[in-house]
Amino acid sequence: MKKLFLPLLLLVPLLAAQAVTIENGDFSQKKDRWSGDGDVIGLDAVGNPAETPETTAGYALEIKLHTSDWSYLEQRLNTAREPGELKELKITYEVQALPDYVPLADSPAYTTTGEVPDWKTDNWYYGREEVVYPKASFVVRLTDKHYRYAPRTIPSDGAWRTLKLDFQMLKEKDRVLRFMFPPGTGTIRIRNIQQVQ
């Protein structure tokens, strides 16, 4: 009996570590599991739009900015976490801001009160109890017990870049991962959103 019980105990941490799963992060099933703006496009081997996607590159979600409001892409995550299980979420994703991608320098859609206008946009994370809209090239927000924000800057040069996020000290089992794109003009693409250990 002890021999059977020990392997089960060893398996529990592995199951807990895999409790959060980002589904359809490669957009191979179009926008299944995702809600929000944008359209799924096929890509060729170097990451350019293609009528018939090549398996090595696959798909991306393409978002055209609204001139007066934020655009977004989100997925609800259910971690089914028991106390003591997974308390952080690490993800990687690729983003491409085309040369015409120009967020507005000023907009009533940005939060201008408190310390939000002073938030930095490179490798910084912020927590708030309320919804805010910081000025940035784009923002990743994770809804947990509070709102976790990761404002980011990306050049509008058409290059694909791999970015990483690590949300720590999470409290709730139900979370919403949201990619937020500010008002402006132009196009941005995102692909290969995945959880990493």
What CATH number did the domain enclosing 24 receive?
2.60.120.260
pLDDT at 54: 75
Per the DSSP assignment, residues forming a β-bridge with 72 are 180
* Contact (Cβ atoms closer than 8 angstroms) between residue 89 and residue 175: yes
Counting the structural domains of the chain, the total is 1
Q: Can you tell me whether residue 28 is helix, strand or coil?
A: coil
Q: Can you tell me the distance from the alpha carbon of 146 to that of 135, in angstroms, rounded to the nearest whole number? A: 20
- The pTM assigned to this predicted structure is 0.85
Among 30, 40, 36, 18, CA closest to 195: 18
pLDDT at 122: 83
Tens-level pLDDT at each residue, the chain (197 residues): 444 444 434 444 444 444 557 999 999 999 999 999 999 999 998 888 998 887 667 999 999 999 999 999 999 986 655 555 667 889 999 999 999 999 999 999 999 999 999 999 888 899 999 999 999 999 999 998 889 999 999 999 999 999 999 998 887 777 899 999 999 999 999 999 999 97
Q: Can you tell me whether residue 117 is helix, strand or coil?
A: helix
Domain that includes residue 62, residue range: 2-196
Cβ density class 98-120: b for 16+ within 10 Å, e for less: beebebbeebeebbeeeebeebe
